Amino acid sequence: MNHQPVLTAVFQPVVNLLNGDIVGYEALGRIAGRESEGFAPVAKWARETHRTTVVFRQLQRLSLRLGAERPPGTLLFLNVRLADQIVLEVPESDHRLDQWDAKLRDLRGLGAQIAIDDWGIGKADPLRLIQLQPHWLKIDLALTNRLGTQDCDRLLELLVRWVNPDTHLIAEGIERPDQIERLRQLGIRYGQGFALARPNHTWPTTVAVPDPTKRLTGLARTSLALMQASNISDASLALIEQSQDAIAPLFHRAVENLANWIYDTLMANRLGFTQRDRYQQVLERHFHQLTRGILDHSDIQRAQRIARAHQQYGVDLSFYVAGYRQLQAFIARSLREQRETTLAEALRDLFNWDISLVMQAYQELLDRDSLTGVLTRQAFWDRVNRDILTALPTNARWVLTVIDLEGLEEINDQLGHLAGDQVLAQVGRVFQEFMNAQYAFGRIGGDEFGLWFPYRSHHSIQHDLNSMQNHLTQRIPEISLTLGFAVLGYDGTTAEALYTIADRRLYQDRQPPQNFRA
């Protein structure tokens, strides 16, 4: 007769990576006396005895009963029926997840919080998260283990950008301090793993995290934003986070006033009531993220989103800034009346930083061609002239490439200019996919583009441009590129001289000169 093991549950803390506070506990099923072996013995015994459903239900009831003893105000992460402060976890790899949209909405309506578990081992589709809008998203340890690799970091950056601001990200399987630091930089605020706390039967309320006050760490990759945040300190960000109860009602009223002021001043004859409400929701999300107590690269992306929203709704930035100053004055006045002077000063510095980011993002939008998304003619030549000023004293070489689209005129003649504009937009997307920080693309004529980049070697240049040509041909077979080159210092020392040479070669050699040297 098989001996029936005694089931138990242990609880692994979910930790705020900034300050070490424990926000909840994930219930994990174990066999009593063999807790260190993890979940595998439970699953094996359940399969062998064909009692999988019974075992899981027993673990759920046991976890819920033991979990009731946790500290007040903390959450319990559990695959279980609804209860107060329970987070229902749904595996991201579950093949039925796409069919659960309506069910999850019903559960949220009943007061449950929803978590998507093990994200990254299923479809890992950010668009699905927009549809499901979970309260929590748990990033699988497979991705945590790959932190620092280009593909993983890029995926997590996109995740932070795409996910709903009300969705909290949790990284699973954290085992090293450097992983905690990297997650902070990426804008991921919560985590669990052995580097933070092991699963056990006790209820700690806080754990030690390395350098928990480095709230500006995530801006390290963006030197300009970090420099602009020089008046903001870790202490002021911590104060803002701790004062959420005091500032939340003020922000709700102030944002509503801001939306009303802009709407009444500028947009009453343009937008319907529905769009005005949507605009207010955009503002509320913006300020909710801004005051969360940490600054990182996602704040730069958030500023870009708010700039795009104002462009979309036709709001001139000067109106937004004027309304923003009114919001700032209202909150400062209200806090000073409550004798919260230090908090008012901390928010003032944060607001000033945020306005500078939004203005910078708005300017970047103005520098982009509305059809193709690449730099406008003026912005492109401004970039070229700036680089020339810094390159000439050091004899640095840069390459100007003039690109002409072959086949666009025929599309315009045969299908019309609307079809031609659609092709131009596709070309712009291809160029942006090819582009990195070293490349500057600009639309310098109707179907003429400029490419500006540091000189490397003839072989490297040919390889990159051939790759771009092949990529474009695969996407838009009707279009081909004709290229003309000029090298700073070899062909000229001004933008005008380089363009003259490159434009001439556009119709002559169609190849970079073979004898130029760095």
**DSSP string covering 138-185, please?**
EE-HHHHTTTTSHHHHHHHHHHHHHS-TTPEEEE----SHHHHHHHHH
Query: Is the separation of the CB atoms in 329 and 258 below 8 Å?
Result: no
For the domain made up of 7-207, give the CATH fold: TIM Barrel (3.20.20)
* Res. 210: pLDDT tops 80: no
CATH number of 377-506: 3.30.70.270, 3.90.550.10, 1.10.10.10, 3.40.50.300?
Answer: 3.30.70.270
pLDDT band at 494 (very low <50, low <70, confident <90, very high): very high
Query: Is the separation of the CB atoms in 240 and 291 below 8 Å?
Result: yes
Q: Please tell me which residue, 102 or 4, carries the higher pLDDT value.
A: 4
The residues, ordered by sequence, that sit 6+ positions from 368 with a Cβ below 8 Å of its Cβ are 374, 375, 376, 379
DSSP secondary structure code for residue 218 in this structure:
B
* Res. 294: pLDDT tops 90: no
**Collapsing DSSP states into helix, strand and coil, what is residue 204?**
coil
Tokens of 423: 């092709």
Residue-wise pLDDT for 307-360, tens only, equals 887 777 777 777 888 888 999 999 999 999 999 999 999 999 999 999 888 888
Q: What is the distance of C-alpha 177 from the center of its chain?
A: 23
DSSP secondary structure code for residue 393 in this structure:
G
Whole-model pTM: value is: 0.55
pLDDT of residue 512: 44
Give Cα separations from 189 to 108, 168, 216, 296, 381 (angstroms).
Answer: 23, 8, 13, 11, 41
Residue-wise pLDDT for 119-164, tens only, equals 887 666 666 676 677 888 899 999 999 998 888 888 887 787 677 6
Task: Please state which architecture CATH assigns to domain 234-365.
Answer: Orthogonal Bundle (1.10)
Type of residue found at 196? L
**Collapsing DSSP states into helix, strand and coil, what is residue 76?**
strand
Q: Please tell me which residue, 98 or 174, carries the higher pLDDT value.
A: 174
Cβ burial 368-407 (10 Å sphere, 16+ → b, else e): bbeebbbbbeebbbbbbeebbeebeeeeebbbbbbbbbee
Domain boundaries, the chain: 7-207, 234-365, 377-506
Closest of 319, 320, 343 to residue 331, by C-alpha: 343
Q: Please tell me which residue, 508 or 395, carries the higher pLDDT value.
A: 395
Query: Is the separation of the CB atoms in 341 and 335 below 8 Å?
Result: yes
DSSP 425-466: HHHHHHHHHH--TT-EEEE-SSSEEEEEEE---HHHHHHHHH
* Res. 51: pLDDT tops 60: yes
Q: What is the 3-state secondary structure (H, E, C) of 238-298?
A: HHHHHCHHHHHHHHHHHHHHHHHHHHHHHHCCCCCHHHHHHHHHHHHHHHHHHCCCCCEHH
Tokens of 277: 């409400």
Query: Is the separation of the CB atoms in 22 and 74 below 8 Å?
Result: yes
**Collapsing DSSP states into helix, strand and coil, what is residue 511?**
coil
pLDDT of residue 54: 77
Average pLDDT, the chain: 80
pLDDT of residue 1: 43
Q: Of all residues in the chain, what percent carry a pLDDT higher than 70?
A: 84
